[in-house]
Amino acid sequence: MRSDRPSSPGQGSERGFVTAETAVALPALVLLCALLVWGVVTAAAQIRCVDAARVGARAAARGDGNAGALAQAAAPAGARVSVATGGDTVRVTVEAPSPAPGRLGGALSVRLHAEAVAAREDVIGSTGGGGRWPA
């Protein structure tokens, strides 16, 4: 004789809990994974901004007229590059929007920023040394 009743007193009342727990936990895990991937992609874009600022500052310090274009090529998509020349230094600033997933662009929007400063090579030694390096 077969019975539809549970064999032990608490067994039947827990039926379906695994499905309910999975239904709650799975979307939370997917969201967590998406945020982790976004964080890694944003960190990579920040590193590209720093690298682009360094490339631009090195080129501008050598007197290269294409310093802004070189920095723009190394920067992430949508970046804004500015090169400012001071008395004996150059400053390159790179600003870029962070890559955001799909429709969450506004909620997860972060502005990435990097600056690099370098001494101008065309003015090194021209302040009293006659343009020569000391012996």
pLDDT tens digits, one per residue of 21-67 = 888 889 999 989 988 988 999 999 999 999 999 999 999 999 888 99
120 CB contacts (<8 Å, ≥6 apart)?
60, 61, 63, 85, 88, 89, 90
User: What is the structure's pLDDT at 53?
Assistant: 96
The pLDDT-based confidence of 135 (bands split at 50, 70, 90) is: very low
CB-based contact 118:90 (threshold 8 Å): yes
User: Strand (E) positions, 8-85?
Assistant: 80-85
Could you tell me which of 95, 134, 90 has the C-alpha nearest to residue 112? 95
How far is residue 38's CA from residue 98's CA, in Å, rounded to a whole number?
9
| Residue predicted with more confidence, 104 or 97 | 97
pLDDT of residue 40: 92
Domains within the chain, CATH numbers bracketed:
21-100+110-119 (3.30.1300)
- Residues near 87 by Cβ (< 8 Å), separated by ≥ 6? 123
Q: Is the dihedral of CA 54, 59, 60, 66 positive or negative?
A: negative
- Whether 81 has a pLDDT exceeding 80, the answer reads yes
pLDDT at site 109: 77
- What pLDDT is attached to residue 125? 64
Q: Which range has the top average pLDDT, 47-56, 82-91, 118-127? A: 47-56
